């Protein structure tokens, strides 16, 4: 269980996190928000690589702060940063082996098993002897997930894991993450791509401008838009609308003369963003 | 790193190939020979330190249980590799030195400075490489350090013709961990204190790196940091105070100011008194005192009131106006230098002492011509009978064409001898030494008289002067009086 209580983080004059409080339990939780919403700052604070200015974070009943506590937390979590690189001239399995050492897996046999399990989880077994810098972009992202999975962490923090991947690779990634969530780990996935949410997440957290806007199941996010999603013949002024393949227009908000339709998670998210920006300008 | 090891090996080969091995000098020079390895270690340390953010692995690694501090310690521990190379090199050099008939004693605290310099270079490189906002910091720091080394170079200081180096400049010589040469100041420094200072610097740098990693202000961290800084300060102050002592001060000034007060200059030398003869040497040259003693004992016994002892003067500075006073045989600093031919130098020293014994000039007295004077035989006979292979060297002199002033490029004093002098000295050397000594001793007043001719001396031993077959070429110098 991850408990975040009134966390604030600022960078000079930019407030990345503004009094954010939330709880994340076992299963997959998707942290959704536009670019610059504060997702990465929150994930970094949770991964103990950055300290919040105010507020508290508890991970598995251990409070983030003191170095010894942070070390205990780190031994339970796996972190996949948004951007990560690799040492040059080292093989995939050797790299993971070193990560195993740094994760405190002392026994050689145990470490070899952990490397094999991580490679299996991301389907990179056949690349074990390949040099990391010879891997494709998609494989390098999978390796980033594999290194986060080393030591079977109970808590997994994935920051934009599918960024830069093509649709097929994203689907593959979702299947990896889904399998990890199904195994009972607490997985927090940060993304700004809605399709990542669909199908795999039990909980969605939406933040924008450093503030928490929503936390609940995807269905509840969709329900936020109930009665405000319409199919019309033409764009409605003041609403969010976009043309559909059949020539009609899907519109969100107060629309006159439209046909009401079942809301989706995307509809709920877009309306939430619209309200948030309206409040910000108000 | 491989290139650096080769460069260090080359420095060592050149250094060891220059001639006589003196442990004290070698102990200091070892760290200088390791300078290429130190620079490579610095660059590698800096590269390894910046690799995490260059390769974008830092953020992920920070999230691991063995966090940034463990990685810093690991990086520092990685210095074990270049330090290991340096230990192997130092050991090899010392073994080679030990096979080359070394003199003196090993200064272990100076020897330890070499490998410690490698560790410090690596650690400082790691520290400087971590300043990611200042990417040029490692290069700038290296240039600054090399500049300090240049400032501290004893070569520059010894060769300076201007006023003495400022105190700050001299102090710099103590701060860099390595130095190529071994001036008095380095030889006289309290090596153990300097070693402790360097250890304290190493600890302080490691702690600084650790603090930069997490900005921790724990009491234990502060305590260790304060202790290491205090240690470094205490040991710096310790040797600064030591360097301010009259001994070290005057030793340093003697390098720059040859006209420094003689009595104070000799304070920097360690003198031993053997049978009334003072034998003064700077610490590195103490191993040769027994050679000097053997060379001048017989001359001092012949005329104790005229031969007071031996002292050293730098041979590469100006001697204008420098006069230590009568009775001192002055020797230079070439005893441990390349191609130092010890028997030849000892022969020349003995001849100089002989000059003093019979009233001929030596040291810094004016030159004169002693052609045909009976006393010109005495310095050569004394030299031939006082040093190893002396008779052989005298024979070489006898075969030499023209007036006799030096042997093997080393001056025999300040008098010019005729070619008949070495011949007569050779003939006399075939007679029992004690008898010859007795004759010279009983006729000392005649020997010191310029009017006593070489034929007179030959007659005392019942022999005649052989014709050298060489023309007597008068010199422009005044006749020795």
Interface predicted TM-score of the whole assembly (ipTM), two decimals: 0.86
**How far, in Å, CA of B56 to CA of B52, rounded?**
6
Q: What single string gives the DSSP state of each residue in A108-121?
A: HHHHHHHHHHHHHH
Residues of A in contact with B73 (CB under 8 A): none
Determine the pLDDT at residue A22: 92
Residue ranges with strand state E in chain A: 2-11, 14-24, 27-32, 54-59, 62-63, 77-80, 155-159, 186-191, 203-208, 211-216, 229-232, 240-243, 249-252, 259-260
Nearest CA in chain B to A70: B65
Task: Name the residue among B51, B55, B64 with its Cβ closest to that of A102.
Answer: B64
User: In this structure, is the dihedral angle defined by the CA atoms of residues A86, A87, A89 and A92, taken in order, positive or negative?
Assistant: negative
Q: What DSSP designation does A198 have?
A: T
**How far, in Å, CA of B436 to CA of B430, rounded?**
10
Residues of A in contact with B66 (CB under 8 A): 102-104
B55–A79 CB contact, under 8 Å: no
- Residue pair B386/B298 in contact by the 8 Å Cβ criterion: yes
Min Cα distance B41 → chain A (Å) is: 20
Determine the pLDDT at residue A93: 95
Which one has a higher pLDDT value, B228 or A217?
A217
Task: Name the residue among B57, B65, B66 with its Cβ closest to that of A85.
Answer: B57
**How far, in Å, CA of B239 to CA of B192, rounded?**
10
Determine the pLDDT at residue B58: 84
Residues of B in contact with A158 (CB under 8 A): none
CB atoms within 10 A of CB B321: 8
Residues of A in contact with B213 (CB under 8 A): none
Q: Is residue A205's pLDDT more than 90?
A: yes
Determine the pLDDT at residue B148: 66
Per-residue pLDDT tens listing for chain B (481 residues): 888 888 888 888 887 776 667 777 788 788 888 888 988 998 898 888 888 878 888 888 888 887 777 888 888 888 899 999 999 999 999 998 888 777 667 888 888 988 998 998 899 888 888 777 677 777 777 777 766 665 554 433 433 333 334 444 444 554 555 444 444 445 456 677 778 888 888 888 888 887 777 666 667 777 777 887 887 777 767 665 555 554 455 454 444 444 444 544 555 567 888 888 888 887 667 788 889 999 999 999 988 888 888 887 754 444 434 456 678 888 877 776 655 678 899 999 999 999 999 988 886 666 888 888 999 999 999 999 999 889 999 998 888 877 888 888 888 888 888 888 999 999 999 999 999 999 999 998 888 888 999 999 999 998 888 776 666 666 777 888 7
Min Cα distance A69 → chain B (Å) is: 10
> Which of the residues A45, A57, A85, A151 would you substitute to probe the B interface, choosing the one with the greatest number of B C-beta atoms within 10 Å?
A85
Percent of chain A's residues with pLDDT above 90: 39
Determine the pLDDT at residue B287: 80
Q: Which of B302, B48, B79, B29 is nearest to B180 (CA)?
A: B29
Min Cα distance A178 → chain B (Å) is: 22
Q: Does A47 touch chain B (CB under 8 A)?
A: yes
Min Cα distance A99 → chain B (Å) is: 8
Q: Does A86 touch chain B (CB under 8 A)?
A: yes
Task: Name the residue among A48, A83, A104 with its Cβ closest to that of B63.
Answer: A48
Determine the pLDDT at residue B413: 82
User: Is-above-0.80 flag for pTM?
Assistant: no
Q: Is residue A188's pLDDT more than 60?
A: yes
Nearest CA in chain A to B67: A71
Q: Does A104 touch chain B (CB under 8 A)?
A: yes
Residues of A in contact with B61 (CB under 8 A): 102
Helix then strand then coil, % of chain B, to nearest 5: 60, 5, 30
Q: Does B214 touch chain A (CB under 8 A)?
A: yes
Task: Name the residue among B51, B56, B67 with its Cβ closest to that of A83.
Answer: B56
Residues of A in contact with B78 (CB under 8 A): none
Determine the pLDDT at residue B239: 61
**How far, in Å, CA of A8 to CA of A12, rounded?**
13
Nearest CA in chain B to A40: B59
Q: Is residue A115's pLDDT more than 90?
A: yes
Q: Does B61 touch chain A (CB under 8 A)?
A: yes
Which one has a higher pLDDT value, B166 or A186?
A186
Determine the pLDDT at residue B314: 56
Determine the pLDDT at residue B238: 67
Q: Does B217 touch chain A (CB under 8 A)?
A: no
Which one has a higher pLDDT value, B143 or A271?
A271
* Tokens linked to A179: 């399998």
Residues of A in contact with B214 (CB under 8 A): 67
Q: Indicate the pairing of strand A62-63 with strand A229-232.
A: unpaired
Task: Name the residue among B55, B65, B70 with its Cβ closest to that of A85.
Answer: B55
> Which of the residues A46, A48, A49, A164 would you substitute to probe the B interface, choosing the one with the greatest number of B C-beta atoms within 10 Å?
A49
B3-9 LR contacts (CB < 8 Å, sep 24+): B3/B36, B3/B40, B4/B36, B4/B37, B4/B39, B4/B40, B4/B41, B5/B36, B5/B37, B5/B40, B5/B85, B5/B89, B7/B36, B7/B37, B8/B33, B8/B34, B8/B35, B8/B36, B8/B37, B8/B86, B8/B89, B9/B89
- Residue pair B63/A77 in contact by the 8 Å Cβ criterion: yes
Residues of A in contact with B62 (CB under 8 A): 47-49
Min Cα distance A40 → chain B (Å) is: 12
B56–A147 CB contact, under 8 Å: no
Task: Name the residue among B51, B65, B71 with its Cβ closest to that of A103.
Answer: B65
Q: Is residue A141's pLDDT more than 50?
A: yes
């Amino acid at each position: 269980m991850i408990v975040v209580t009134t966390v604030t983080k600022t960078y000079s004059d930019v407030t990345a996190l503004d009094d954010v409080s939330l709880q994340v339990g076992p299963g997959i939780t998707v942290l959704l928000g536009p670019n610059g919403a504060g997702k990465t700052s929150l994930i970094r604070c949770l991964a103990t690589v950055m300290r919040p200015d105010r507020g508290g974070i508890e991970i598995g009943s251990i409070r983030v702060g003191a170095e010894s506590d942070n070390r205990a937390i780190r031994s339970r979590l796996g972190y996949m940063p948004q951007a990560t690189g690799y040492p040059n001239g080292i093989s995939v399995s050797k790299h993971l082996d070193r990560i195993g050492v740094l994760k405190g897996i002392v026994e050689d046999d145990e470490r070899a098993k952990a490397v094999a399990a991580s490679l299996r989880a991301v389907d990179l077994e056949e690349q074990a002897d390949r040099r990391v810098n010879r891997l494709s972009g998609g494989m390098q992202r999978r390796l980033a997930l594999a290194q986060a999975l080393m030591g079977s962490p109970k808590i997994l923090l994935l920051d934009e894991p599918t960024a830069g991947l093509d649709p097929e690779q994203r689907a593959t990634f979702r299947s990896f993450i889904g399998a990890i969530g199904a195994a009972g780990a607490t997985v927090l996935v940060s993304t700004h791509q809605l399709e990542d949410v669909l199908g795999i997440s039990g909980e969605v957290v939406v933040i924008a401008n450093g503030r928490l806007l929503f936390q609940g199941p995807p269905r509840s996010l969709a329900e936020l838009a109930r009665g405000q999603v319409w199919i019309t013949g033409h764009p409605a002024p003041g609403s969010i609308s976009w043309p559909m393949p059949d020539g009609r227009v899907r519109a969100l908000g107060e629309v006159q003369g439209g046909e009401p339709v079942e809301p989706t998670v995307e509809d709920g998210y877009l309306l939430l963003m619209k309200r948030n920006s309206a409040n910000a300008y108000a | 790193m491989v290139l650096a090891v080769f460069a260090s090996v080359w420095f060592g080969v050149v250094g060891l190939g220059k001639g006589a091995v003196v442990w004290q000098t070698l102990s200091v020079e070892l760290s200088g020979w390791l300078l290429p390895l130190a620079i490579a270690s610095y660059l590698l340390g800096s590269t390894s330190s910046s690799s995490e953010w260059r390769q974008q692995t830092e953020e992920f690694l920070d999230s691991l249980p063995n966090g940034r501090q463990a990685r810093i310690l690991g990086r520092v521990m990685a210095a074990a590799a270049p330090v290991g190379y340096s230990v192997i090199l130092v050991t090899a050099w010392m073994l080679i030195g030990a096979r080359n008939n070394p003199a003196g004693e090993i200064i272990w605290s100076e020897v330890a400075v070499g490998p410690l310099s490698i560790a410090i270079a690596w650690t400082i490189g790691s520290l400087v490489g971590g300043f990611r906002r200042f990417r040029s910091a490692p290069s700038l720091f290296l240039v600054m350090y090399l500049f300090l080394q240049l400032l501290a170079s004893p070569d520059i200081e010894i060769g300076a013709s201007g006023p003495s180096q400022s105190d700050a400049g001299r102090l710099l010589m103590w701060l860099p961990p390595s130095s190529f040469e071994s001036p008095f100041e380095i030889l006289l420094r309290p090596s153990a204190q300097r070693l402790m200072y360097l250890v304290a610097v190493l600890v302080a740098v490691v702690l600084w790196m650790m603090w930069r990693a997490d900005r921790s202000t724990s009491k234990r961290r502060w305590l260790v940091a304060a202790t290491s800084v205090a240690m470094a300060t205490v040991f710096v102050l310790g040797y600064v105070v030591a360097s301010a002592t009259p001994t070290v001060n005057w030793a340093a000034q003697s390098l720059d100011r040859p006209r420094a007060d003689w009595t104070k200059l000799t304070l920097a030398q360690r003198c031993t008194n053997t049978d009334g003869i003072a034998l003064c040497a700077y610490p590195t040259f103490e191993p040769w005192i027994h050679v000097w003693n053997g060379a001048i004992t017989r001359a001092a016994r012949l005329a104790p009131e005229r031969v007071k002892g031996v002292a050293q003067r730098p041979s590469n500075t100006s001697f204008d106006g420098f006069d230590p006073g009568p009775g001192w045989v002055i020797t230079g600093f070439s005893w441990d230098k390349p191609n130092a031919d010890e028997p030849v130098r000892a022969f020349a020293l003995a001849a100089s002492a002989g000059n003093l014994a019979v009233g001929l000039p030596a040291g810094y007295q004016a030159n004169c011509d002693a052609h045909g004077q009976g006393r010109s035989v005495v310095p050569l006979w004394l030299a031939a009978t006082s040093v190893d292979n002396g008779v052989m060297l005298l024979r070489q002199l006898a075969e030499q064409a023209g007036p006799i002033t030096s042997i093997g490029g080393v001056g025999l004093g300040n008098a010019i001898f005729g070619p008949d002098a070495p011949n007569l000295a050779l003939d006399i050397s075939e007679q029992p030494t004690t008898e010859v000594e007795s004759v010279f001793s009983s006729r000392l007043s005649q020997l010191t008289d310029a009017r006593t001719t070489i034929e007179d001396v030959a007659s005392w031993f019942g022999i005649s002067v052989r014709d050298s077959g060489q023309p007597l070429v008068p010199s422009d110098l005044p006749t020795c009086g």
